[in-house]
Structure formats: C-alpha cells, structure tokens
Structure 1
Amino acid sequence: MEAKVSPSIARAKAELLAGGAVRIPQDFRLPFLPSRSTAGPGAGSTAAVFSFGETRAKKSISRDEGDFELSLDENGMSILRNGEVLIAGVKIVPTVYHAPHQAFINIDSSCVMDCKFCATPRLNDGITKNLTDQKIMSMIEDASKKDDFLSVSFTSGVPSTPAMTVKRMAGLVSATRTLLPRTSIGVEPYATRPDEIEMLRSAGADEIKLNIESFDRDIFDKVCPNRDFDIIMHMIIHASEVFGKNRVSSNIIYGLGETDENVLEGVSVLANTGAVATLRALRRNQYNISELERILGALVPVTADRMLHLAEEEKKILQSHGLTTLEFKTMCHLCLSCDIVPFWDV
C-alpha cells in the first residue's frame, strides 16, 4: 500500500522531528494560540503544529533560538535548516486541545508511576491545569462546536491508584458519550485489571492505548520502576478481545539504548495480539535527560534514518497481520504530529 505522502516529505518530516525547536521571527504573530501540552512527547514546551505535504509535525517553538527557522515571504511559509529550505509550503494548523481535530484531554498531570522519560509529573503548577470533571466537560462541549473537531481522547497520570484513575476516566467517557453520541472516543489509561478495560468499553470508549513503553525488559524495569510489564501485556491482549482489530495501540519508545531488533520484536508481539504499536522516538528535554542518562548511561539521539527505517519495517509487520494505522479515529495515529506513521508517512 502506498503511503499518503511522498518519500521526500517523509524524509523532511523525520529530519524535523529528529531536531530541536523551530525559531519563529520576533515580529511574527501566530495565527492560532500555541499548544502548551501537559502530556505526551511535547509536555512542558510551547509548540505549534506545522502542516505540509499532507502530513503534520508538532514542534517546540522559540523566538530566540532553534535548529530550524520559520521563514515568511511572498510565497508563504517555509522551514529552513542552516539557511536552506527543508520544507516549503508550510501552514500552521490549530490544535483543538493538544492535537489537531481532537479534544485530547490530560485528566490529571500528577503521577506516582515515576517513569523516567515522562515530563508530565515534573511540570510546575503554572503549567499543569488541575482540571475538574466539570471543567473538562465544558472544554469538550466547546471543542465540539469547532469546525475541525473530529474526536475526543483522554489520557491521565496516576495520582493515587490505577483503579481510581480508570474509574474517573470511565465517568468522563460516559458523560462524553451522552453529550456526543456519535463522536469517536479514545482512552489512554494505565489499567491493571481486565474489568477496567471492560469498564472503559462499556462507558463508550471506541479505542484504547495501553503503553508498554519498551520491549527491552532491563530498560523497562529501570525507566518504569512502578509499572509491571507482564500486567500491561495481559491488558493489551484483553483489550484486543474487548475492543477488536485496529482499535488497540501501544507506545514503544526508542532511543533508550535498545536495538532495532528489540523494537521490531515488540511490534510483532503486539501485532500478534491485534494491537498496533505507536513507535515514538525519545524526546530528550530538561525534565528527563539527566535522570535517563544516570540510570541508562549516555544515550545516542535518534536520527531521521532510524525513524524512517523502523516505521518502514513496522508497516511490513502490520501488513502481514492485516493491521493498519489508517482506521484509528482518535489519539496518536489520527494526530500524525509526533511520529513517522506507517501507511501515512511511509
């Protein structure tokens, strides 16, 4: 199956994702408010989503410095690297909440899991949003009135116990399903019991994301000290039975010292359960890199070549299992902005 974008655009996107911030002109006024995410790879940064060649990339932005530069002229916007055009025909697109076309809500930024790559619980109170359920539902109702709105997604830290977090998420899913009966809803919980998966499905969730994070067990134990690898795998298997084909996904983060073979073994294991891996390059930032390198040693930054190679190999594995990223209607495979997405970008 041909990708939605050209190889040259996929290469440019990978180069952009592998690099640092985009510097924007001091006098340039963004057409939309920037995104200030409290979850995901861009947590803690001020970012914008750049659209080009039928794909998107979400990048941190700065008025002062960056690996890339946004250039404006009579022909529109381009992204430059070292003074040369990397991507022409760029547009800045709005995020509904956190992502284009989605109200992707982080229910709670506090978390006891202490995953070493995650910036979310390390953000200060000025960045986190301390949302009540009432406020979240008001945000979703407002988002649903926007022309570019397509779906609702929920993620969350674990402020006390996984069970309490899932229960709160299920309540919000149920309220959203009542408010928006025909809207796709995705959930990204840390679930530890089969009945929690069933609770979310019964509440009205259409898709679920259960993150295994790393298939290297030694790395997993070091970077996810309060999570259980085997429980997560059992939840993924059960979720595939409950939600069905092309409705279950799982992050595999690479750039933590694992091999490509290990990453692709993880893709295959997930595919055997009916789940689709979301391959995500580690985002090195002020919140995670010192602790990660303390426990893992020096880490090699992920290159564009590695991003493209792993995505191309994942596509082959998914095809052999009759799986695709293109059927997802919520969360990361719809967003496109943080990863090289098989079937879309390659």
Structure 2
Amino acid sequence: MHWKDLKAELLAVGSARLTGEPAGEYIAKSTAGPGAGGAGAVFFAMGSHRVKFGLNPKSTIEIAHRGDGVADLYYLGNLIPGKLLKPGCHCPDQAFITVTGCCIFKCRYCPVPGENGRRKTIEEIMAMVEAVRHRISAISLTSGVLSSIEEEEVYVLEVVKHLLFFGLPIGVSIYPTDQTPDRLKSLGVTEVKFNLEAATPDLFKTMCPGLDYDQIWRALDRSVELFGKGRVFSNVLIGLGETDGELDACIRKLASHGVIPVIRPLNPVAGMTGTSRPSAERLKKAFGMHERALAEAGLDARQALTMCTNCAGCDLVPGRDA
C-alpha cells in the first residue's frame, strides 16, 4: 500500500492506543483546535513520512513503543515498523504554541471555549521556546480570543517582537483584522495562516457565528501581496457537510489566489460530537483535488517553513505524502 493510501486510512480513524514502554516524552498536548483538552497525541513516522494520532485506549490502531522512540504500528493485521517523534512544542521540529487557550467565540467544531484555558505570559512563551530551541527549526503561534479580536492581535504582536530574539522563521495563525497582515509583515513574520474553516460562506455562518468570512478573504488576499504566493495558508475542514463540488471550488479558489489550503479532517468534538470523521476514500478524493489545484497554481507545499503544512502530521499534504 502506498503511503498516501495508508495515511488516508489512518487519518480516517484518527486515534491510536499506545502500549509498550513508557513514552511520556513523545506525547504532545494541544490547547487549541479540535484536539484541545484531550489525552494528548503522538507522531508516528515511517521514514520521512509522519502521521499524528490522538491517544485513545479504545482505538482500533495500536502503537507499541519498544523504547527510545522505536515503535511498531499495528493496523488491520499489518505490522508497520517506525518511530515516535519527539515534539518540540505541540509538534516535531517546531515550537507551535497557543498564546491564548480560551475563546469568546463558539465555533461548533472547536472545544476551546469549554476548556477554561488561559493566556500564556510572554515570559512563559519565551521559556517554552528556550527549552526546545536545540531541536526546532521554526516557531509557530496560534491563539484563541480572550476579549476581542483587536486586543488579541495587539498581544500576539508583542509576543512576536520578543520571539524574534531566536532568529527562527515565525508563522502566525490568528483571527485577523484588516490590518493584521501588514502588522505581521512589518515585524518580520515569515508566513501566515488565516482560516476559512468551512468550504462555503453559508457553512461558515453556521459553524462560526459572529465571525466574518469575507474579512478572512480580505486578509488572505492582502497577505499574498505582502508575503508572496505559497507563504499564506488557510485551514478548510472536511466533513462539515460540504459537497465534493463545494470543497473542490474552495480549494481551487484558494490556490488560484496564491494561498495553500490546509485540508483538515474533521475531529468530531464539541458541537460536532456524533458526526463521523471523513472516510479514507473521501480524504483521498480531497487529496487529488488539492494536488491538482496546487499544480495548476504553481504552488509547492514542500516549501512551507512553519505551521501545519510544514508539519504534515494531521493532513494529507501534496508533495509530502505520496
């Protein structure tokens, strides 16, 4: 089985049970996004390929840790030898940090508003990066919204100013104001990710009440002008109720604007509990759409330096997963 096909099947399950030797140093915790507040996750690698699993003792996939990161993955009677990757912060090779772990908005697919998280201080964030700087190549920031979109931007900008000390590429993904792209660029941020989340405006309105789909598009277009094609990204969740045609149209539109889509399988938590994860076949179909759209637009996801596309643990990424 080709890696792309195997990864699609693994992502369709989305979780694994971890057995064998103690593996605490390989477990990553999330304080933002659909994995927030869970039991943690591990990154399993086979050669240069990787996939992220949420930890679930009832999963049909088993990862047996043999010690020192060496691991075997058991899936449908197959044994796949590999290794566990040690996270920097949240993911391998990066300090991917959630600045504010709570949010005033209540997007249906996101558990963060119910987690009673808090905002990290700049001192905490600097210490987190310092602790892993010997094994990371980038810093990435995401954030909820503590009190307002505008106030969150001001705080994240201050965090960025301090993180420039490390001399690493910095990626930022926050809910934008119209001035966010210019302000991040002026500080020296390398890449940005502003998330459409849903494939259509109507779905976005249902899933993200109180947020503005058109504002995100304005931020994306301005970002491409400032950062360049292929340095701007946008999450699109697959499994919110969109048709294949709607997903394809959204992917093509993003790519044609110079934005690299991040096609993220839905994790059915929060208000989406009870919804099915997208099937392996649907993930492979979306991968084909994604691959064609990037090729037509002359975009190469392998050039990403920060954030999700660089990591490629949660998603099928053209050029990285073949």
Is this a same-fold pair by TM over 0.5? yes
Q: Determine if the alignment matches structure 1 residue 200 to structure 2 residue 222.
A: no
Q: Determine if the alignment matches structure 1 residue 317 to structure 2 residue 293.
A: yes
Q: Determine if the alignment matches structure 1 residue 210 to structure 2 residue 165.
A: no
1:22 and 1:68 in contact (8 A); partners too: yes
1:31 and 1:92 in contact (8 A); partners too: no
Residue 33 (structure 2) aligned to one of 21, 31, 40: 40
Residue 50 (structure 2) aligned to one of 39, 56, 59: 56
Query: Secondary structure of 1:343's match?
Result: coil
Query: Which residue of the partner structure matches residue 110 of structure 2?
Result: 118
Query: Secondary structure of 1:35's match?
Result: coil
- Offset at residue 21 of structure 1 (A): 2.6
Query: Which residue of the partner structure matches residue 7 of structure 2?
Result: 13
Query: Which residue of the partner structure matches residue 296 of structure 1?
Result: none
Query: Which residue of the partner structure matches residue 141 of structure 1?
Result: 130
Aligned equivalents of 1:110, 1:42: Cα separation in 2? 13
Change in 2 beyond 3 A, CA 1:221/1:334: same
Aligned equivalents of 1:101, 1:49: Cα separation in 2? 11
Task: List runs of 5+ in structure 2 lacking aligned partners.
Answer: none
Q: Determine if the alignment matches structure 1 residue 343 to structure 2 residue 316.
A: no
Query: Which residue of the partner structure matches residue 169 of structure 1?
Result: 156
Q: CA RMSD in A?
A: 1.9
- Offset at residue 309 of structure 1 (A): 1.5
2:61 and 2:73 in contact (8 A); partners too: yes
| TM-score, length basis structure 1 | 0.87
Query: Which residue of the partner structure matches residue 271 of structure 2?
Result: 288
Aligned equivalents of 1:234, 1:21: Cα separation in 2? 36
Alignment deviations for residues 32-73 of structure 1 (CA, whole Å, 9 cap, x no partner)? 2411111134222211111114211111124x4212112467
Query: Which residue of the partner structure matches residue 101 of structure 1?
Result: 93
| TM-score, length basis structure 2 | 0.93
Q: How many residues align?
A: 319
Residue range with higher mean Cα deviation, 212-221 or 254-263: 212-221
Aligned sequence identity (%)? 31
Which amino acid counterpart does residue 217 of structure 1 have in structure 2? P
Aligned equivalents of 2:29, 2:61: Cα separation in 1? 20
Change in 2 beyond 3 A, CA 1:314/1:61: same
Query: Secondary structure of 1:60's match?
Result: strand
Query: Which residue of the partner structure matches residue 160 of structure 1?
Result: 147
Task: List runs of 5+ in structure 1 lacking aligned partners.
Answer: 1-6, 294-298
- Offset at residue 196 of structure 1 (A): 1.9
Alignment deviations for residues 105-149 of structure 1 (CA, whole Å, 9 cap, x no partner)? 10001111211111222224xxx46411111112122221x2x31
Which amino acid counterpart does residue 316 of structure 1 have in structure 2? R
